[in-house]
Amino acid sequence: MPSLFPDPDDALASLEGTLERVTFTNAENGWSVVRVQVEGEKDLVTAVGTLVGVRIGEALRLRGEWVEDKRYGRQFKVASYITLLPTTVEGIGRYLASGVLPGVGEKTAEKIVAAFGTKTLEVLSADPERLREVPGLKKRWKEIAAEWQKQRALHETMAFLQSLGIGTALAVRIVKRFGGRAAEVVKSDPYRLAAEVHGIGFLTADRIAAHLGIPPSSPERAAAAAMHALREAVDDGHCYLPEDDLAGAMERLLGPEGAPAREAIGRVVEQRLAVREEG
């Protein structure tokens, strides 16, 4: 049986390599131009797209498509990505010296890697107090450890959102709106995204909910459909919607497996999310 919500990534190409250079990045939305070393490719590959917080030395697994730019030539246009932390001493050293940790430059990175070798990133995540063993870090280790945890939390949140089929650009908007609570909000109420994140409507939120295992008959889904239909009516210039019209719009969104539209309208009114006018 075909999926009700097919994965848009299924038709995309994949590319894996090590980030060698960041040519440009927009601090506001994360849109970047980067150069990636790909095994089997003689020259560095140019990749463009929303790449939040990526650092030199990281391994990247990209999903997207090849495009031919009239000015810059062949590029890989990124739709989604995940980061794979470096595993070699050289790669870890380059990664730490790339600016991922404020105040950690090439020399400090060398000292940290010299102390812990290939277990450096494991120490940073699981036992950061050991940074006190590194010469010159007895007074700074807490600051470095805190920044590392913040960076890893961002990467983990982005990876979680993209595992739900959320594109990188939308994932950035979700993180900007909810910050460190982004994953928690999406897990507990994915339909909230349709109301609070620009660019996400009911259908996108519905696909995310399906990835999370929320059944089509859930009351939350029906209530979200009601609010979506009302917002669309407002966008079209209306200040109200006849209940029959609202129920019809909801049924088109919910399909045959959805919860009864009129029951959902009643719940929305009870929760004071909308007002029912009699007569």
How far is residue 126's CA from residue 169's CA, in Å, rounded to a whole number? 30
Q: Where are the alpha helices (H) located in 117-242, listed in sequence order?
A: 120-126, 141-163, 168-178, 182-188, 192-196, 202-211, 219-235
Q: Would residue 99 be called left, alpha or beta, if left means φ above 0 and alpha means ψ between -120 and 50 degrees?
A: left
The β-bridge partners of 61 are: 16, 82
- 146-176 pLDDT per residue, tens: 989 988 888 888 888 888 888 878 888 898 8
Dig out the tokens for 256 from the structure: 């045959």
At 272, is the secondary structure helix, strand, or coil? Answer: coil
Dig out the tokens for 134 from the structure: 């590194």
How far is residue 144's CA from residue 201's CA, in Å, rounded to a whole number? 39
- 236-263 pLDDT per residue, tens: 888 888 888 989 998 999 998 888 888 9
DSSP assignment, residue 99? I
* Domains contained in the chain, CATH given: 8-84 (2.40.50.140), 89-154 (1.10.150), 168-270 (1.10.10)
How far is residue 256's CA from residue 118's CA, in Å, rounded to a whole number? 54
100: Cβ contacts below 8 Å, ≥ 6 apart: 55, 148, 151
Give the residues of the chain that fall short of pLDDT 70.
1-11, 279
Q: What is the predicted pLDDT for the residue at 1?
A: 36
Output the CA–CA distances (angstroms, integers) from residue 103 to 23, 91, 198, in the order listed: 22, 19, 35
Is the pTM for the entire model greater than 0.75? Answer: no
